[in-house]
């Protein structure tokens, strides 16, 4: 899309003037200039209007609107999108910062191809210090159902946003999260940009929680869980949602109790020397496999010393597969809960997994010309090419009694000849900013 125009939407309430100025400064610093800013102010008084006049004394790209008290984020975003004139809306937090190349990067991607929704990596701002980078996977449906790993700061095609009805006004905290789940349901074209284009403000007040803030956090958390439950009902997925005591995520437990009545629908692949620790392992896995868009479900492998053998696998552009979270503590939840929550992955372990029988036949099964890990990587690539997901389920754990053989050079060369273009794009579920190899999902 040539010369795309962005409408930046910013809702302001209980605003910190210092941090708001910092946000305005990051907008002025943008290297891409085809944008407009709509500030939707729900604060009492005229502080914000004064700051806006200070930063943009005669800038026609700025619209400032006062809102009645109690309107909320969803109302403000819907109003702003309706009054905007850009091709895309970009949602901003009033105290956050945009990377100076954020809009230029978005415009560059949209020049190549139009997208319905775009999200990007972010880190956190404490004072003037940037910390805690969140390097995200490409769209990860299973993970998104259990935590809002994307966040409220996204870029959306404005006409698509308006035609879809925008954010639900009834939602106070989880409006954008609900919108993301609806985007998944409607199969929107969603792009992830693996760059730190957004800096989320963590103020000092957030580190010392008052009773009112704790109560507000609990209320927001309940709303997120309710939104996730509603999404599962709309999708016709039988599941229970379990709350986390620390309110970091909500764990979805799929219902696969009737797996015995569907034995012809799946294949249980198991190495004879693999030991499984869960009595209801197949029940749990079948709960995920019964989803129409899932083709393979795998488990977490642990080894001696309470260490992780693998949480599925990641792979590089040369077709080499590495065990995810290798040698990390089995008691850890991993980087951004990688070891704690079920999620989409590029490849699971062939020593114990459940496969949709129709998918297995449809993609031609395993390729006997390959060896070692190449066999399963090739199969998972075929499954994903057939628009089925590969899901890792950490609630089921297993142990290998002896190591599996590695792939040989001839096998790798054959794999590369089959999947060169696909492998060149990298593993969509492993962020390129994280280290590749045995030491993965680690921030140095």
Q: Tell me the three state secondary structure of residue 140.
A: coil
Q: pTM here?
A: 0.95
User: What gap in Å lies between CA 309 and CA 31, rounded to an integer?
Assistant: 45
Q: Where are the alpha helices (DSSP H) in 29-101?
A: 47-55, 72-83
Reading phi first (left if > 0) and then psi (alpha if -120 to 50, else beta), residue 348 is in beta
Domain ranges of the chain: 6-207, 256-424
CATH code for residues 256-424: 3.90.550.60
Measuring CA to CA, which residue among 300, 287, 294 is closest to residue 333? 300
Q: Report yes or no: 429 and 315 within 8 Å, Cβ to Cβ.
A: no
What are the Cα distances from residue 177, in Å, to 92, 182, 184? Answer: 14, 9, 11
Domains 6-207 and 256-424 share a fold: yes
SS3 of residue 381 by DSSP: helix
CB 180 within 8 A of CB 188: no
Domain 6-207 has CATH 3.40.50.2300: no
Q: Please tell me the predicted confidence (pLDDT) of residue 205.
A: 54
| pLDDT reported for residue 58 | 85
Which residue in this structure is represented by tokens 């799929």? 254
- Residue 415, pLDDT score: 97
Tell me what pLDDT residue 208 has: 61
Alpha carbons within 13 angstroms on the beta-carbon side of residue 347 total 27
Low-confidence ranges of the chain (pLDDT < 70): 1-2, 204-209
Find out whether 424 and 308 touch, Cβ atoms under 8 Å. Answer: no
Q: What is the pLDDT of residue 373?
A: 96
pLDDT, tens digit (0-9, with 9 covering 90-100), for 371-398? 999 999 999 999 999 999 999 999 999 9
Concatenated DSSP letters of 163-202? HTT-S-TT-SSSHHHHHHHHHHHTT--EEEEEEEEEEEE-
Contact partners, residue 129, CB within 8 Å, separation at least 6 = none
Helix (H, G, I), strand (E, B) or coil at 262: helix
């Amino acid at each position: 899309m040539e010369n795309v125009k962005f409408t930046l939407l910013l809702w302001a309430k209980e605003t910190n003037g210092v941090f708001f100025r910092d946000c305005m400064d990051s907008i002025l610093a943008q290297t891409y200039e085809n944008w407009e800013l709509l500030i939707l102010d729900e604060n009492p008084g005229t502080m914000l209007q004064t700051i806006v006049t200070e930063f943009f004394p005669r800038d026609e790209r700025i619209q400032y609107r006062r809102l009645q008290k109690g309107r909320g984020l969803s109302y403000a975003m819907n109003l702003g999108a309706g009054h905007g004139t850009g091709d895309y809306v970009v949602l901003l937090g009033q105290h956050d910062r945009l990377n100076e190349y954020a809009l230029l990067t978005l415009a560059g991607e949209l020049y190549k191809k139009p997208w319905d929704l775009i999200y990007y990596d972010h880190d956190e701002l404490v004072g003037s210090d940037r910390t805690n980078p969140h390097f995200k996977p490409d769209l990860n449906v299973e993970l998104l159902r259990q935590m809002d790993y994307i966040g409220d700061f996204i870029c959306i095609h404005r006409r698509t946003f308006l035609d879809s009805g925008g954010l639900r006004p009834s939602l106070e905290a989880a409006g954008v999260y609900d919108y993301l789940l609806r985007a998944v349901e409607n199969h929107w074209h969603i792009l992830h940009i693996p760059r730190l284009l957004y800096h989320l403000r963590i103020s000092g007040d957030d580190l010392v929680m008052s009773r009112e803030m704790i109560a507000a956090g609990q209320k927001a958390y309940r709303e997120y869980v309710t939104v996730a439950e509603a999404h599962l009902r709309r999708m016709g997925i039988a599941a229970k949602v379990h709350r986390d005591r620390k309110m970091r995520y909500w764990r979805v437990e799929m219902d696969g109790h009737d797996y015995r009545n569907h034995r012809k629908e799946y294949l249980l692949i198991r190495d004879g020397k693999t030991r499984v620790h869960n009595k209801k392992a197949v029940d749990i896995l079948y709960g995920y496999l019964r989803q129409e868009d899932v083709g393979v479900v795998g488990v977490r492998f642990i080894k001696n010393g309470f260490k992780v053998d693998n949480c599925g696998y990641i792979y590089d552009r040369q077709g080499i597969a590495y065990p995810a979270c290798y040698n990390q503590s089995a008691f850890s939840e991993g980087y951004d809960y990688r070891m704690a929550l079920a999620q989409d992955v590029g490849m699971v372990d062939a020593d114990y997994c459940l496969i949709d029988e129709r998918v297995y036949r449809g993609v031609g099964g395993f390729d006997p010309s390959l060896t070692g890990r190449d066999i399963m990587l090739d199969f998972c690539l075929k499954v994903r090419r057939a628009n089925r997901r590969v899901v890792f389920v950490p609630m089921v754990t297993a142990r290998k009694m002896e190591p599996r053989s590695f792939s040989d050079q001839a096998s790798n060369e054959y794999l590369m000849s089959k999947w060169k273009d696909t492998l060149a794009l990298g593993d969509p579920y492993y962020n390129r900013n994280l280290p590749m190899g045995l030491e993965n999902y680690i921030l140095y």
